[in-house]
Amino acid sequence: MDDAFRGPRGRAGGRAKHGRMSDLLNQTESGGVMRLAFDRPEKLNAFNDEMTQALLAALEAAATSQARVIVLTGNGRGFSAGQDLAEFAAARAPGGGTRSVAARLRAGYNRIVLRIRELDRPVIAQMNGVAAGVGLALALACDFRIAADDATLTLGFSKIGLIPDGGASLFLPLLAGFGRGLELAMTSERISAAEAYRLGLVNRVVAAADLGRETDAFAARLVAMPRSALALTKRAFNAAIVPQLAAWLDAEADLQELASHSEEHRDGVRAFLEKRAG
């Protein structure tokens, strides 16, 4: 691991187990490209613990694979709707046995973000549909985003009394600028792929029917480039732009912990689960 990514309390370290492949994450590889597809389409690929750990393990394994480019995408009409709020609420209910929100972030999403950034090869988010919450955060942490023209993006955190996590409080303003980034974070406005492109949140927008083909073509261009140049370019951008990433993820988790103790947070999650307008 790059030293730049070690947190002040060393939380970025540790190796995930290469557990069995999960049914919730499809992995395929061809032409030097590894595709990881979230597969909980009926829940818009919301992250439960199993999918989170499967992604972490797959990214860990990718570091030593032959693949030269990694593509993250979702099956169905969602890229990912973020944290599975039903599982989260159940875990936090009395007797649910959950750790704190900060601990959950540090054990899962923060490690995923660090893995994406420290992988010595490009990671592309192929945004096939709605990306929300930490689902959007993970896309923003990737090297490139290619969106279908019918995809939508929303932070969603503020609606449930939270702050943008999974590095979104850093990557959102980096990509969209402070003002528009803060606006999207505070309003949770759901924007189109075209608007996301205008804001610099995605690299390109393509017809939904062409998304796979366009992503493959872009990935093939990267596969054909000198491998070490891409690895060192990524390392240079990381060191120049996000040198304190691990420390920031750690601090972001502490802020999320604070937010998660509010009544507004509990009410917001309940409103979503009860399908009341949030």
- What is the smallest separation between the CB atom of 41 and ligand LHQ, expressed in angstroms? 9
SS3 of residue 21 by DSSP? coil
CB-CB contact of 191 with 175 (8 Å):
no
Segment 13-72, which members bind ligand LHQ (CB under 6 A)? Answer: 43-44, 46
Closer to ligand LHQ by Cβ: residue 145 or 234? 145
Binder to ligand LHQ among 55, 58, 125, 132 (CB under 6 A)? 132
Question: CB of residue 170 vs ligand LHQ: minimum separation in angstroms?
Answer: 15
The CB-of-116 to ligand LHQ minimum distance in angstroms stands at: 16
Q: Is residue 134 a contact residue for ligand LHQ (CB under 6 A)? A: yes
Q: Which of 122, 124, 144 is nearest to 230 (CA)?
A: 122
State in angstroms the smallest separation of the CB of 266 from ligand LHQ: 12
Is 162 among the residues that bind ligand LHQ (CB under 6 A)? yes
Residues 6 or more apart in contact with residue 130 via CB below 8 angstroms: 44, 77, 78, 79, 81, 151, 152, 153, 154, 190
Closest distance to ligand LHQ from the beta carbon of 123 (Å):
19
Q: Which of 16, 36, 59, 81 binds ligand LHQ (CB under 6 A)?
A: 81
Q: How far, in Å, CA of 16 to CA of 18, rounded?
A: 6
Reference 162, options 94, 106, 102, 244; nearest CA is 102
Q: Per CB under 6 A, does 185 bind ligand LHQ?
A: no
Exposure pattern of 62-98 as b/e (b: 16+ CB <10 Å)? beeeebbbbbbbbbbebbbbbbbbebbbebbeeeeeb
The single residue among 84, 118, 143, 252 that binds ligand LHQ, judged by CB under 6 A, is 84
User: Where on the chain is the footprint of ligand LHQ (CB under 6 A)?
Assistant: 43-44, 46, 81-86, 88, 101, 104-105, 130, 132-134, 154, 156-157, 160, 162, 165, 272
